[in-house]
Each structure stands twice: as structure tokens, then as C-alpha cells.
Copies of this chain bind each other. A is one copy, B any other.
């Protein structure tokens, strides 16, 4: 059996470049640039809830960092450092399996892409639980908060929504997709792309932002609650894949679109005057950005169907204690 210290040395310890002190002391040490604020967040992935017990460890390592990067994207912060609290069944820590090698490879593949440094963590035995903390920098006063939406703002989303939820329904055998369809949807579920660069570029441009992890209705609802505003969106304007469009007439498709989390796209609001600049940003970054509705004063969210009628929403976002 590998020891805790072997695991850290063999899979996770790397030379520091950005931090003053990394793995191997009682705490990591950072110096923060003047004029910047720190954004901090943590997201946990639990076996059997956020991923299947037999999930591919490379993809799991990748996704566990991706969902945290997405929180930095939603704040407009540049992700810089990460800590990893890994609770691991003893069989996965055994040198007989390649689980740790694959997990750390997936984790570092994404970390390296964004130059995010693993500066600390904790490794312990127990039921598989992956806790990642992320620390980012944002110019002082520039962070994208949920609370800044203004009446008249356009509501935008990045990418397309619903594919991750569609793939999950297939994996749970609630629906059956063709092998081609599932191949198209599965990457959104297993290896989502955090919109880090988009988030950073939206500082000073967007009034509010959130990442869509619980589903569009729930997450836009968080913006509305924090901003004390109302909104209306058009379901036909919400960007989705050809696969989802194919099943459009079935209720599960609109459920996936409105309430499917796990896509980790950004939902943000911005003044109409910034439309052209946002469209230029979309082209520059090659990230589709779509206007789906408007912010109003008042409270509540209206989703309009293809005929322009307000839909009755039975769906809410993902709640870990009500599933």
C-alpha cells in the first residue's frame, strides 16, 4: 500500500513557480499583487452523486478542476492556485491500480493549460470524495458578481445548454440516444470546458454573471435574487445542440435545456450598449454568445414558449438534498 506521503510525492508534488511555498509545509504561502483581490471557491465531487463509481479517473481529475475553474470564470477571475483534498478508498491508492496516475494526469492537464498551481491539499482514506479549492486573482473592484444585473440588461449565455443533462439521462437509462448522439453529448458531461478567458474578458463589460451548474432557470434565478430583479427569456433563443433539437417535442429535452446543470457555460447580463463589443468578443474567442432575454425591475422569471406564452415551470435546479 502506498503511503500518504508517497502518494503526494509520486503524483502531486511539483516545483512551485507562482507560489512562495507549496506542498510540504503546514500551509502554502502566496503573495498577492497590489491592486488585485482574491477570489476563492471550493467544489466537491462525491462518488455516486457527481460521477459514477466506475468513472474514468483521467476524466474525473479533469472535471474536478474544471468545475472549480468555472467558478473563477463566473467571477471574471484569473485562476492561479488550487488545493486538493482527496479522500480515497484504499483500493484506489494501491500501486496495483493506475487510478492515481490517471487522476493526477487529468487534473494537471487542465491545470497546466491555465497555469494553475497545485499548492497544497490533504490525502486521506475513506469513501471517494474529491474536494478542490481554487484561488484566483481579479483586478480590485472588477469581479463579476451575481448582484449587479440592471433593468434593460440583455441576458446572455455562452456555448449551448442541455447536452450534459441529456448525456446523464442516457447514462442513467432514462432515455436512449443513438451511439452517435451520445458521442456528441458525453464530452459536455465528462470533460466540461470552463469559460475562463471569457469570464476575464467580461469584467468591465458584464453587470452580473454566474456559471450554469444547477441549470439555467435556477442559476439565472440566483442572479435575479441577488440583484432583486425580474427577467423574461425565450426558450427558442436558448442555444442547444442538434441532438437536443431533435428531441425538442419531448418534455425531457426542454427539462435538459432549462434545468440541466453540469454544462458549466456562463450566464451573464450586460447593457444593450455593449452588444457589439460582446459579439466581437464572441468572434475573437470563438465562443458562441447568445442573447436569450432581458432583465426587468420587479421579481420573478418568465420563460416564453415558441408562441410567446409564459410557460409553467415545474422544474427547479439541482439540489443535492432533493433529488
A residues lining the B interface (CB < 8 Å): 1-5, 7, 20-21, 24-32, 34, 37-44, 46-50, 71-72, 74-75, 77, 81, 83, 85, 87, 90, 93, 119-127, 129, 131, 133-136, 138, 140, 143, 145-147, 209-211, 226, 319-323
Which chain B residue shows the least CB distance to A86?
A: B44
Which chain B residue shows the least CB distance to A211?
A: B26
Contact: B25 with A83, CB < 8 Å? no
Contact: B143 with A29, CB < 8 Å? yes
Contact: A40 with B4, CB < 8 Å? no
Copy number in this complex?
Answer: 2
Which of B24, B41, B50, B135 is close to A26, meaning CB atoms less than 8 Å apart?
B41
When distances are taken between beta carbons in the complex, the residues of chain B under 8 Å from A34 are: 34
Residues A46 and B126 in contact in the complex (CB < 8 Å), given A27-B40, A27-B136, A38-B32: yes
Which chain B residue shows the least CB distance to A26?
A: B74
When distances are taken between beta carbons in the complex, the residues of chain B under 8 Å from A75 are: 25-27, 29
Residues A24 and B322 in contact in the complex (CB < 8 Å), given A42-B85, A42-B122, A129-B127: no
13 cross-chain CB contacts under 8 A: A21-B143, A21-B145, A25-B146, A27-B75, A40-B133, A40-B135, A41-B83, A43-B122, A44-B131, A47-B126, A87-B129, A126-B129, A127-B129
Contact: B124 with A126, CB < 8 Å? no
Bound-state Cα–Cα, A49 to B31, Å: 35
Contact: A42 with B133, CB < 8 Å? yes
Contact: B39 with A4, CB < 8 Å? no
Residues A42 and B120 in contact in the complex (CB < 8 Å), given A3-B319, A31-B140: yes
Contact: A125 with B2, CB < 8 Å? no
Bound-state Cα–Cα, A85 to B48, Å: 17
Contact: B321 with A2, CB < 8 Å? yes
Which chain B residue shows the least CB distance to A19?
A: B40
Which of B27, B134, B211 is close to A74, meaning CB atoms less than 8 Å apart?
B27
When distances are taken between beta carbons in the complex, the residues of chain B under 8 Å from A32 are: 32, 37-38
When distances are taken between beta carbons in the complex, the residues of chain B under 8 Å from A226 are: 24-25
Which chain B residue shows the least CB distance to A5?
A: B319
Contact: A37 with B27, CB < 8 Å? no
Contact: A77 with B42, CB < 8 Å? no
Q: Would you give the shortest CB distance from A265 to chain B, in whole angstroms?
A: 13
Q: Would you give the shortest CB distance from A216 to chain B, in whole angstroms?
A: 15
Which of B72, B129, B147 is close to A129, meaning CB atoms less than 8 Å apart?
B129
Which of B2, B28, B72, B85 is close to A85, meaning CB atoms less than 8 Å apart?
B85
Bound-state Cα–Cα, A323 to B93, Å: 14
